Structure 1
Amino acid sequence: MENGPKEKILILGLNHRTAPVEVRECFALKNVSEHPLAILKRELPEAEEVLFLSTCNRVEFILVSKTSDQTLKSLKEILVRTTGLEVARFEDHLYFYENRDAVRHLFRVASGLDSLVLGEPQILGQVKEAYREAVEYRTTGPILNRLLHKTFSVAKRVRTETGIGSHAVSVSYAAVELAKKIFGSLKGRTALLVGAGEMAELAAQHLISAGVSRMLVANRTLSRAIELAERFRGKAYGLEELPECLLETDIVITSTGAPGYVITRDMVKPLLRKRRLRPLFFIDIAVPRDVEPAVNELENIYVFDIDDLKQVVEENLGRRKQEALRAEKIVEEEVLKFERWLRELAVYPTIKALREKAEAIRRRELEKTLGRLDLSPEEKEAIETLTESLIQKLLHDPISYLKSGYHREGREAIVTVRRIFNLDQEEPGSSPTFEELSGAEEATEIPKKWH
């Protein structure tokens, strides 16, 4: 994208491969007093467009900026202030992508190719939610709007044309697989879900399929706990009733969005005697973590966090790897298409100025000619059509030269056409709108009210 517009697409982030959970949970920015996008919009003026993606396994900042070095420097300073970590504590865990590599990375993320569980579908919904929030905070513009629409269509194409999403494998599924490894069989067991979001719902489905006989659901909002519990013929509790729930259960899967620990050592320790030291397994798939690590120190209590699921995940990848190769080819093809569109951003103002100048000349000369002739409306319409057709045919070759020659010869094509047609003496025209550039074919991916 070297000959594209001055704006660069940047991605700075960390994920399950580059950073431990204790660093990732700081970057989730759950404890800040306002939405991260509000902070970035105010404190990162170097970035013209911003999107913030935060999931259990990754935190990424997707930016559009003309000054990449200064933007990254300012962003790291903001992260120091908001996370409480020194740069030296997190810098080695960060990855950075620019332009083509950034586009490829985002396409791969949304398609499930960069997930902890290869091909897991939840990430696409999380990317869409991040985009919805960015539109709500007005931090997107023409480039990110187009990029995100294209991201959604690429992910859809990957799902449709490959088997990357076959065989139910997700973080929730991996959690249940881990529980099965621990107990051998889940038949007759009682499971407790702490949190009633999408991840908990998926975990509940897998637990029932694995043979769990009794399901408990604890959630901060009791109505949501009741709704989920009824769906799986279980029992609902509020979070204040957690000690009572823990007395009855064998397996606990936590997935709340709470900023701090929901289950602590002090909560669990008094229950050991009442449980008669029956084993209790916590599988914590939340980021930030729901279960205090010190709980793992108690007798016959075992705590696994999301990083512990990696081994289980690896065992479920085999059937998807071949399909992933096909998905990677689709991603590369779509990266090239987006790169071509991005490059044409620099060509578009010249094409627009060329068409406007030709149209102005056509209308001026047509008015002079028609003013001297006594013609019927039909005859005037015929001449109008004729002149429009002449202009289109005359402009076809220079516009084609701009679009193709630009890629081969860089900005020389633009300079040549502007000089030949003396465009710099005319109004160059305004920048293209997002609707003009992106077309209507992808508008169905995001509700119109988001634009």
Structure 2
Amino acid sequence: MSLVVLGINHKTASVDLREKVAFSVEQHENALKQMLNSSVFLETVIVSTCNRTEVYCILEENNPQILLSWLAHFHKLTETELSQHTYCYTDTQAISHVMRVACGLDSLVLGEPQILGQIKQAYQTSKSLSCVGVLLERLFQKTFSVAKQVRTETDIGASAVSVAYAAVSLAKHIYGKLDKIKVLLIGAGETIELVARHLQQNGCVNMTVANRTVSKAQVVAAEFNANVVSLAQVPEQLIQSDIVISSTASTLPIIGKGVVEQALKARRYKPMLFVDIAVPRDIESQVGELDDAYLYTVDDLQAIVNQNVQSRLKAAEEAEAIIVLKVAEFEVWLKSLDAVDLIRVYRQQVDEIKNELIERATAQLSAGKPAEKVILELANKLSNRLMHAPTRSIKQAAESGELAQLVQLKNVLGIDE
């Protein structure tokens, strides 16, 4: 048996190809059922996200090409096209890889935590369809334990390494809890959507999305149960907002110093945080001159991000050291499993010999043969049968001059001088 990982990710393939190899929910289950019914794939877990698709398998034979052929056929692609953009790891490398992925060390954003949840979901799906056996069960439980240890003992996820996350981290640092804070998001693109997701994860429940095209704002707002306004309504919305985060494609500023002054006056000068992550700027730089308005630009956030990236790189080194130890622990378990299998097979062979000789002795006793002779014959035959293989190995080692093997056989057989 062999553990194999075949994958494709943001480092090896374009979005177009990754989309072709990704598994929808229905495809995911169909693929697992198909592999379950095959004698080639003994155990399987499929991880499929926007940035990666990976298939973890226990194969009957160490032949990763079988897995590549299956993946290409399932998604109606050629093996040549797929092989140029995939990576494959077996055994020790495969164990290390799944642990690194779960810890966020192989992610587009170093240390991001979402991948662990996605792997857990993939594992549960496979388990529910009886595609997880002893080996993958132990591997993934070990992996989840390693990921938890890395999160606990290192700072791999402690610092913001995306501008969107940095914006939310800044807001949380200033306001503490965000559950009672009112946030105005200006724009409806990917960045604002990511900001909204981070806000929601940090307890923010009062968000409003403003956009030139209201229908686009409604799409983003629907996911986060947020309110929707047009850009024309932004001035009056400012009065109610504690935090304003803006990211549009506008070539001219959307918020000027004058409208902020009016909002602050209406708020009785209750402080406001402005985070402008647009290029060109959405908020006039003069807004930062106002006493109760605190303006941060994309450059300010990028400086935080760059500093935090260095912090995560150091944490990643610590995580790698933990993974090396845990891979070694898992391999020790695998070797013990081999020993268990060897003992089981050996015991089975001995039992077969024993049962065969007992059956023969019983027949002899039934035929009236003296019990003393039957017992003696049983003992002699059992001794001879059990000694046959060790005796042959000892003779072969002696004839070949394999002294080390002779010593090992002596220890295994418990032979005293």
Normalising by the smaller structure, the TM-score range is 0.5 to 0.7
- Structure-2 change in CA distance of 1:335 and 1:252 (3 Å): same
SS in 1 for 2:100: helix
Is residue 89 of structure 1 aligned with residue 81 of structure 2? yes
Q: Is 1:154 paired with 2:166?
A: no
Q: Check if 1:191 corresponds to 2:187.
A: yes
Deviations 1:213-257 (A, max 9, x none): 6468989x99x966832xxxx327xxxxxxx9899999789xxxx
* Secondary structure of the structure 2 residue equivalent to 1:85: coil
1:165 maps onto 2:157 in alignment = yes
Letter in 2 for 1:190: I
Q: What is the deviation of 1:116?
A: 1.1
Letter in 2 for 1:16: H
Confirm or deny that 1:35 pairs with 2:29: yes
Provide Cα deviations, 1:369-423, integer angstroms capped at 9, x if missing partner: xxxxxxxxxxxxxxxxxxxxxxxxxxxxxxxxxxxxxxxxxxx89x9599849xx
Q: 2:135 aligns with which of 118, 125, 143?
A: 143
Q: Does 1:338 align with 2:330?
A: yes
Contact in 1 for aligned 2:33/2:129 (Cα 8 Å): no
Contact 1:9 1:65 in 2 (8 A): yes
Cα distance, 1:24 vs. partner? 1.0
8 Å CA contact 1:193, 1:204 repeated in 2: no
Give the direction of change, closer, same or farther, for the CA distance of 1:42–1:338 in structure 2 (3 Å limit): closer
Q: 2:121 aligns with which of 116, 123, 129?
A: 129
What pairs up with 1:207-218 in 2 under 5 angstroms?
Answer: 214=209
Q: Which has the higher contact order (CA 8 A, sep 6+)?
A: 1
Tell me the matched-pair count. 287
SS of alignment partner, residue 47 of structure 2: strand
- Cα contact 1:120–1:170 (8 A) shared by 2: no
The alpha-carbon deviation at position 344 of structure 1 amounts to 1.0
How big is the alpha-carbon RMSD for the aligned residues of Structure 1 and Structure 2? 4.9
Native 8 Å contact 2:155 2:311 kept in 1: no
Residues 171 and 333 of structure 1, relative CA distance in 2, 3 Å threshold: farther
Among 65, 72, 76, which residue is 2:59 paired with? 65
- Mark the runs of 5 or more structure 2 residues left unpaired by the alignment: 170-182, 235-244, 255-279, 281-303, 351-404
Give the counterpart letter for 1:11 in structure 2: V
Residues 172 and 203 in structure 1, CA contact (< 8 A), matched pair in contact too: no
Equivalence for 2:106: 114
1:56 Cα offset (Å): 2.1
Conserved 8 A contact 2:210-2:230:
no
SS at match of 1:18: coil
TM-score, length basis structure 1: 0.51
> Secondary structure at the residue paired with 2:106?
coil
Amino acid at match of 1:26: K
**Partner deviation per Cα, 1:106-136 (whole Å, 9 max, x = no partner):** 1111111111111111111111111000101
SS at match of 2:89: strand
Asked if the contact 1:154/1:331 (under 8 Å) is kept, the reply is: yes
Amino acid at match of 2:121: E
CA distance in 2, matches of 1:207, 1:192: 20
Alignment of 1:10-409 (within 5 A): 10-30=4-24, 35-41=29-35, 44-69=38-63, 72-169=64-161, 173=165, 190-192=186-188, 201-202=197-198, 214=209, 228-229=224-225, 234-235=226-227, 316-351=308-343
Cα separation, partners in 2 of 1:108 and 1:86, compared to 1, 3 Å: same
CA distance in 2, matches of 1:50, 1:341: 20
Aligned sequence identity (%): 33
Once structures 1 and 2 are overlaid, which stretch shifts more, 166-175 or 320-329?
A: 166-175
Separation (CA, whole Å) in 2 of partners of 1:106 and 1:276? 42
Bigger radius of gyration among the two: 2
- Partner deviation per Cα, 1:333-379 (whole Å, 9 max, x = no partner): 0000000100111111455689999xxxxxxxxxxxxxxxxxxxxxx
Aligned to 1:427: none
Q: After TM superposition, give the deviation of residue 66 of structure 1 in Å.
A: 2.5
Structure 2 distance, partners of 1:276, 1:145, is 51
CA distance in 2, matches of 1:171, 1:40: 42
On the 8 A contact 1:192/1:245 being kept in 2, the answer is no
3-state SS of 1:192 partner = coil
- 1:130 aligned partner, one-letter code: A
